[in-house]
A and B are shown apart, each in its own frame.
Chain A
């Protein structure tokens, strides 16, 4: 499976109430269970007007299908090639 980062434009995203956040999370999880293909939602970051989501799927199409079913906007999908953090600095080459 590949890892993707998804940009979703949603003006006013930062104003979402707790109930709304719970609601969209439930939707996302539910869609994954009925999707019928390997899929994983790892994490999402909510900013003032956008959501950035990290998903694992086999290809872009799966991502779009998930979005269509859950009625989520999709503005950009990019494959994550690799992830680094401070511990990477200590790796052996």
Chain B
């Protein structure tokens, strides 16, 4: 089959394949609407390669919930056939992935792995894609993924996955519809009016081909009619065959067709002859899904139900042997067989949950709930709780709250105190996740109250620990320790290590946070990490890493924070703990922000903020941090981020959310001269500061309040450098910031000094890219009559004569080592485009034409050694 207007894409595929043979593996993301020719392109690409490389394919099915990891097992089966390896089939997902990967690493020939229609992929398959794509550089493999970009809505998990893949190892190819010229040419060859064909098909190759396949006399009014006209003209037998095939989205194995008794036997041969139904991988399917959808959509509802029922019977009969639960659920749903749905959906849900396909698990539990008649309360409450838990794991917090609430009502009615207590604790946690501390505390208290008179139990210990966690999060040391100790005592008594680890985390964190030199607090926190790691309590270990890192961050021990974050982020990645990972990424960004590497900080923050299903607490913090960077750089959209950050922060009513935003607001006011903070907000900030002990934030806030609004805040204690500033010892303050590695604050301290100090401050602001601050300071210095404020100062021109930025200097150093663009980008954590941008700037500033000459010139000028 000849492909039209796809040469460019084929060439890209060829080029990438060449680079894979020689060097590193690569991923290709092929997107486009249905019928645009993704499959045709892929087929055309690999048809000549069969001899010199291995090709493995997996497809995703359009079932209600697909069988988790089906395409991966498919690929493994194909590889097994080739390499005769031992049983790769293993329930433990990460072991499975690793074995598959290692198997491929050992292959001599280059490998092409194709997974199509990943918009239908289940969560476990998406995990595999993430896992594989991250390591693609290590094997000679071209990983081709295709999907329909117009069928993934905002919340689709695929969007999340795509956003997390590193841009270096991925090429995105988006297939466009055919041009008007191409369509007209094709049409005229068949004697049709090109314009008409183009306007109806929109250039979609599938539709164009269908219209032109002389199926209909003349061009139909719409595409549906074109397909249906063929259908209607067939004999009854053929029609029946098409009808039954139209309700089987995953296709039916050819050897099972005999079991569906119908009068279509004669019709099947004719179907195949027409080539509208084909055999793909042993299954009978329509040649294109659009065909199937159109015919299915034309069926009367009763016919549809009857056909689905037929299929359902087939799979029920073979359930003992084959156990095709996902198919049973799919057909039972479509056949309105409520009881069967309620019977099988939970089984499928638990299986999905086992392999980590939690999105599918939640969908299935919800289905079981929706199809129940609600009379069996014992069954319903179990469904409610299972669904709520899966929702919690998949960030569907609102639904989790609703359904756990329903479960709670049932437990209260049945006077099941333990379970009611557990529900209340869980609801408390969910509300906190949702960003509502008041509700979280309310439920937390209720949990404790209702379990008051109960003997020691898991639920009771957890209720205490949950409360201690809430108190830790709101910086209430006394209550956190009180509840925490109660939890620790009970956990030890009932020998529950999980709750012990959880409670020790809370108490240790608050003690160490309030007093950095409190060894007992630190020890407790690290011990809780230990227990969690030993027992594989993944979530608790992840939380411990986060708390340790955030305390190091708070006390500005940046190196230690970075180390813990690296280990923690890795830990989360390997176990798919996305929201915990995101918090740590935020902390990492904060480290970069405070040590003056704003480019790295901004790139992490922007990623976090652009995730539509981001956890509330991470989103607020990331927005505030991003706002600060943008304000200081004078970027135009700074205000948008600031407004959103403030709006969300005020809702939480929490000190550590609101004060950073207020500090950002004060900096904005200073830089622009526009007042934004209201009297009410000032009073609120004041109250929070009086109530919460956080010497760092409070001192910083009071510094800016004094600078911008000339108001004095009474604080019991000031953070050292701010104290020094107040005493007029700005050089000492600057030295302090220097030891901590905080260039921005150091510069501000210097700015309070003499003319020489001010000029140094200016240089630092320029170096870290605080452009708006630089401009403002320059203006103030000019107003003070300070002369000679050049872009580069005499001392620095020796070391930076061409006025290269920090980043450009980094790139230049790597160029000197002979490193290629792609690696430069990788080493500096920037995109290849950004790296290219820096290099062209360097060439321009040094006035040379090549990279080699740039290095030579830099050495001559003394910029490089």
Interface residues of A (CB under 8 A from B): 10-13, 15-17, 20, 73
A10 to B336, alpha carbons, bound, how many Å?
9
A34 to B300, alpha carbons, bound, how many Å?
28
A13 to B296, alpha carbons, bound, how many Å?
12
CB contacts (< 8 Å) of A10 on chain B: these are 301
**Chain A nearest CB: distance from B298 CB in Å?**
6
**Chain A nearest CB: distance from B62 CB in Å?**
14
Q: Is B193 an interface residue (CB 8 A)?
A: no
Q: A12-B296, A16-B300 are known contacts; what are 13 more A-B pairs with Cβ within 8 Å? A: A11-B304, A11-B334, A12-B298, A12-B299, A12-B303, A12-B304, A13-B301, A15-B299, A16-B301, A16-B302, A20-B300, A20-B302, A73-B336
**Chain B nearest CB: distance from A25 CB in Å?**
14
Q: Is B297 an interface residue (CB 8 A)?
A: yes
The 3 closest A-B pairs by CB, nearest first: A12-B301, A10-B301, A15-B300
A17 to B301, alpha carbons, bound, how many Å?
10
Could you tell me if A12 and B300 are in contact, using CB atoms closer than 8 angstroms? yes
**Chain B nearest CB: distance from A81 CB in Å?**
23
Specify the chain A residue showing the minimal Cβ separation from B304.
A12
A17 to B300, alpha carbons, bound, how many Å?
7
Some 25 contacts from A to B, beta carbons below 8 A apart, are A10-B301, A11-B301, A11-B304, A11-B334, A12-B296, A12-B297, A12-B298, A12-B299, A12-B300, A12-B301, A12-B303, A12-B304, A13-B301, A15-B297, A15-B298, A15-B299, A15-B300, A15-B301, A16-B300, A16-B301, A16-B302, A17-B300, A20-B300, A20-B302, A73-B336
Q: Summarize A's interface: helix, strand, loop or mixed.
A: loop
Q: Which of B257-307 contact A (CB under 8 A)?
A: 296-304
CB contacts (< 8 Å) of A16 on chain B: these are 300-302
Q: Which of B319-339 contact A (CB under 8 A)?
A: 334, 336
**Chain B nearest CB: distance from A62 CB in Å?**
15
CB contacts (< 8 Å) of A17 on chain B: these are 300
Specify the chain B residue showing the minimal Cβ separation from A20.
B300
**Chain A nearest CB: distance from B302 CB in Å?**
6
A48 to B452, alpha carbons, bound, how many Å?
55
**Chain B nearest CB: distance from A1 CB in Å?**
23
Interface residues of B (CB under 8 A from A): 296-304, 334, 336
A13 to B305, alpha carbons, bound, how many Å?
11
Specify the chain A residue showing the minimal Cβ separation from B373.
A64
CB contacts (< 8 Å) of B297 on chain A: these are 12, 15
CB contacts (< 8 Å) of A12 on chain B: these are 296-301, 303-304
A43 to B334, alpha carbons, bound, how many Å?
26
**Chain A nearest CB: distance from B331 CB in Å?**
13
CB contacts (< 8 Å) of A20 on chain B: these are 300, 302
Specify the chain A residue showing the minimal Cβ separation from B338.
A73
**Chain B nearest CB: distance from A10 CB in Å?**
4
**Chain B nearest CB: distance from A14 CB in Å?**
9
A13 to B298, alpha carbons, bound, how many Å?
10
A16 to B297, alpha carbons, bound, how many Å?
11
CB contacts (< 8 Å) of B303 on chain A: these are 12
A13 to B304, alpha carbons, bound, how many Å?
10
Specify the chain B residue showing the minimal Cβ separation from A17.
B300
A17 to B298, alpha carbons, bound, how many Å?
11
A15 to B297, alpha carbons, bound, how many Å?
8
CB contacts (< 8 Å) of B302 on chain A: these are 16, 20
A73 to B305, alpha carbons, bound, how many Å?
12
A21 to B301, alpha carbons, bound, how many Å?
11
A12 to B303, alpha carbons, bound, how many Å?
9
CB contacts (< 8 Å) of B301 on chain A: these are 10-13, 15-16
CB contacts (< 8 Å) of A15 on chain B: these are 297-301
A20 to B140, alpha carbons, bound, how many Å?
59
**Chain A nearest CB: distance from B416 CB in Å?**
27
Specify the chain B residue showing the minimal Cβ separation from A16.
B300
A34 to B614, alpha carbons, bound, how many Å?
55
**Chain B nearest CB: distance from A76 CB in Å?**
11
**Chain A nearest CB: distance from B307 CB in Å?**
11
CB contacts (< 8 Å) of B336 on chain A: these are 73
A11 to B303, alpha carbons, bound, how many Å?
11
CB contacts (< 8 Å) of A11 on chain B: these are 301, 304, 334
Specify the chain A residue showing the minimal Cβ separation from B374.
A64
A23 to B519, alpha carbons, bound, how many Å?
80
**Chain A nearest CB: distance from B292 CB in Å?**
14
**Chain A nearest CB: distance from B328 CB in Å?**
19
A73 to B341, alpha carbons, bound, how many Å?
14
CB contacts (< 8 Å) of B296 on chain A: these are 12
Most buried by A among B296, B301, B334: B301
A17 to B304, alpha carbons, bound, how many Å?
14
Specify the chain A residue showing the minimal Cβ separation from B298.
A15
A11 to B301, alpha carbons, bound, how many Å?
6
A16 to B300, alpha carbons, bound, how many Å?
5
A20 to B299, alpha carbons, bound, how many Å?
12
A12 to B334, alpha carbons, bound, how many Å?
11
Specify the chain A residue showing the minimal Cβ separation from B302.
A20
Specify the chain A residue showing the minimal Cβ separation from B303.
A12
**Chain A nearest CB: distance from B244 CB in Å?**
15
CB contacts (< 8 Å) of B334 on chain A: these are 11
Specify the chain A residue showing the minimal Cβ separation from B334.
A11
A9 to B298, alpha carbons, bound, how many Å?
16
A23 to B297, alpha carbons, bound, how many Å?
21
A20 to B301, alpha carbons, bound, how many Å?
9
Specify the chain A residue showing the minimal Cβ separation from B370.
A75
**Chain B nearest CB: distance from A20 CB in Å?**
6
**Chain B nearest CB: distance from A48 CB in Å?**
9
Specify the chain B residue showing the minimal Cβ separation from A72.
B336
CB contacts (< 8 Å) of B299 on chain A: these are 12, 15
A11 to B334, alpha carbons, bound, how many Å?
9
**Chain A nearest CB: distance from B338 CB in Å?**
9
Most buried by B among A15, A16, A20, A73: A15
Most buried by A among B296, B297, B298, B300: B300
A73 to B299, alpha carbons, bound, how many Å?
18
A73 to B371, alpha carbons, bound, how many Å?
10
Specify the chain B residue showing the minimal Cβ separation from A19.
B300
**Chain A nearest CB: distance from B222 CB in Å?**
15
CB contacts (< 8 Å) of B304 on chain A: these are 11-12
Specify the chain B residue showing the minimal Cβ separation from A10.
B301
A20 to B306, alpha carbons, bound, how many Å?
14
A12 to B301, alpha carbons, bound, how many Å?
5
CB contacts (< 8 Å) of B298 on chain A: these are 12, 15
A15 to B302, alpha carbons, bound, how many Å?
10
Specify the chain B residue showing the minimal Cβ separation from A49.
B301
Most buried by B among A10, A12, A73: A12
Specify the chain A residue showing the minimal Cβ separation from B296.
A12
A93 to B550, alpha carbons, bound, how many Å?
63
A11 to B296, alpha carbons, bound, how many Å?
10
A86 to B838, alpha carbons, bound, how many Å?
67
Specify the chain B residue showing the minimal Cβ separation from A51.
B301
Specify the chain B residue showing the minimal Cβ separation from A64.
B373
A88 to B300, alpha carbons, bound, how many Å?
39
A17 to B336, alpha carbons, bound, how many Å?
20
**Chain B nearest CB: distance from A11 CB in Å?**
6
A16 to B299, alpha carbons, bound, how many Å?
8
Specify the chain B residue showing the minimal Cβ separation from A48.
B297
A15 to B301, alpha carbons, bound, how many Å?
7
Specify the chain B residue showing the minimal Cβ separation from A73.
B336
A11 to B302, alpha carbons, bound, how many Å?
9
CB contacts (< 8 Å) of B300 on chain A: these are 12, 15-17, 20
A44 to B301, alpha carbons, bound, how many Å?
16
**Chain A nearest CB: distance from B295 CB in Å?**
11
**Chain A nearest CB: distance from B513 CB in Å?**
50
**Chain A nearest CB: distance from B462 CB in Å?**
37
A55 to B334, alpha carbons, bound, how many Å?
26
Specify the chain A residue showing the minimal Cβ separation from B299.
A12
Specify the chain A residue showing the minimal Cβ separation from B336.
A73
A40 to B300, alpha carbons, bound, how many Å?
27
Specify the chain A residue showing the minimal Cβ separation from B300.
A15
A66 to B302, alpha carbons, bound, how many Å?
19
A82 to B860, alpha carbons, bound, how many Å?
87
**Chain B nearest CB: distance from A6 CB in Å?**
15
